[in-house]
Amino acid sequence: MSTYRVAAYGPQWAEAWNQLISEAKNATFLFHRDFMEYHADRFKDASQCIFKGDTLVAVFPANIKDEKWISHGGLSYGGLVVRSEVKFAAYAEMLLTLLEAADGQGIKEVIIKAMPDIYCSQPSQELDYLSFIAGAKILKVESASTIALNNALPIQSNRLEGVKKAQKSGLHIAKSNDFEAFWNSILIPNLEARHEAKPVHTAAEIAVLQATFPDQIHLYLVFDKERIVGGAVLFETLTTAHVQYIAAGADRQQLGTLDYLFEQLIKEEFRAKDYFDFGISTVDGGLELNSGLLYWKECFGARTTANKTYGFDPKQTNKIRALI
């Protein structure tokens, strides 16, 4: 009989859930219920709570789609969230109990976007090892670019030339809450023209999230006099500054807009963090690489980190059980 039991998340567990998130070794504010529930209309929640007796010891942020639990379809990453004192055997038993619960509910697959190590306060690769043991499928590997700020490589001269252009043009950077102006004048037109895409968040959604998480969500705008010529939205966690959105006007090359902005973000605004994460440079589940975008990030000293997504068959748990 398992030491643990699994129950579907309900609002009565919100406070305990959020408390665990604040104490976990592998969690960020993206798992806070106030963040997760902004898009509750788009993702049918299937989050799970893992208890030992009456104590909440782990959580699993997830949604359900096509008889699959996905952790998480609306977030950059997911997984089984635990406190630092949880050792491997306990983690393995929790994952086993979770998979057995999924099987008991007729779930065909449990898909987990593994949290990159750069967001964890302690080593947290139990999932990677157990995916191998369980014979889980690797569904995606996406190439991201990250700077190790405590051992940063020098910014290359071609990016510094852009910084000089911006300074000569009199550009200036300001922190702002005017998401609507950035969305409408720069971000939406840029995404439509370059990628035929739209932002994941609306301006109204990101403004509400920023008001809820003012210490974690930041908008930086670049101005040419009074005109917005570029900007970026960053998500700040305990260890890492992550670039969520980035865009600039058509004159970005002539003005050096983004070179100037990111030199300041890396060297000044977030210099005390462990990592600066530019995010992925791939599409189609990692199969297509935007080499130009990757090169631009690498010129700031970023190097490759791999974001992995696993697919577990809930019926294939015998090898995990054998470890416990």
User: What are the contacts of 43-47 at 24+ separation with CB within 8 A?
Assistant: 43/72, 43/73, 43/74, 45/9, 46/8, 46/70, 47/8, 47/9
The answer, yes or no, to whether residue 1 has pLDDT greater than 90, is: no
What's the pLDDT score for residue 193?
Answer: 87
Whether 320 and 95 have beta carbons less than 8 Å apart is answered as yes
289 burial level (CB within 10 Å; 0-12, 13-18, 19+): middle
pLDDT, tens only, 164-212: 999 999 999 999 999 999 999 999 999 998 877 899 999 999 999 999 9
The answer, yes or no, to whether residue 288 has pLDDT greater than 80, is: yes
pLDDT, tens only, 49-96: 999 999 999 999 999 999 999 999 999 999 999 999 999 999 999 999
Average pLDDT over residues 269-282: 98
What's the pLDDT score for residue 197?
Answer: 84
Radius of gyration (C-alpha) of the chain in whole angstroms:
21
What's the pLDDT score for residue 132?
Answer: 98
Reported confidence tier of residue 140, pLDDT bands at 50, 70, 90: very high
The answer, yes or no, to whether residue 293 has pLDDT greater than 80, is: yes
User: Which residues does 56 contact at the CB level (< 8 Å), separation at least 6?
Assistant: 13, 16, 17, 20, 49, 50
- Both tokens of 13, joined, read 């567990």
The answer, yes or no, to whether residue 267 has pLDDT greater than 90, is: yes
Whether 244 and 206 have beta carbons less than 8 Å apart is answered as no
What's the pLDDT score for residue 44?
Answer: 96
CATH 3.40.630.30 fits domain 5-141+307-323: yes
What is the spatial distance between Cα 216 and Cα 244, in angstroms, rounded to a whole number? 12
pLDDT cut 90: percent of the chain above it:
94
What's the pLDDT score for residue 2?
Answer: 82
Chain centroid to Cα 278, Å, comes to: 11
pLDDT, tens only, 13-61: 999 999 999 999 999 999 999 999 988 888 999 999 999 999 999 999 9
| Residue boundaries of the structural domains of the chain | 5-141+307-323, 154-269
Alpha helices in the chain (DSSP H): 14-23, 33-36, 88-104, 126-134, 157-169, 179-182, 188-195, 203-212, 252-255, 257-264, 291-298, 318-323
Other C-beta atoms closer than 10 Å to the C-beta of 312 total 25
Partners of residue 68 on adjacent β-strands: 65, 109
The Cα angle at residue 25 between residues 131 and 301, in degrees rounded to 5: 85
What is the spatial distance between Cα 168 and Cα 30, in angstroms, rounded to a whole number? 39
| 179 SS3 class | helix
Architecture of domain 154-269: 3-Layer(aba) Sandwich (3.40)
What's the pLDDT score for residue 40?
Answer: 82
The answer, yes or no, to whether residue 301 has pLDDT greater than 80, is: yes
Beta strand pairing call for 275-280 and 137-148: antiparallel
What's the pLDDT score for residue 108?
Answer: 99
pLDDT, tens only, 225-251: 999 999 999 999 999 999 999 999 999
What's the pLDDT score for residue 236?
Answer: 99
Average pLDDT over residues 279-306: 96
Domains 5-141+307-323 and 154-269 share a fold: yes
Widest pairwise Cα distance in the chain: 70
- Both tokens of 189, joined, read 């037109």
Chain mean pLDDT for the chain: 97
**Closest-CA residue to 237 (of 125, 119, 145, 86):** 119
**Closest-CA residue to 52 (of 99, 5, 90):** 5
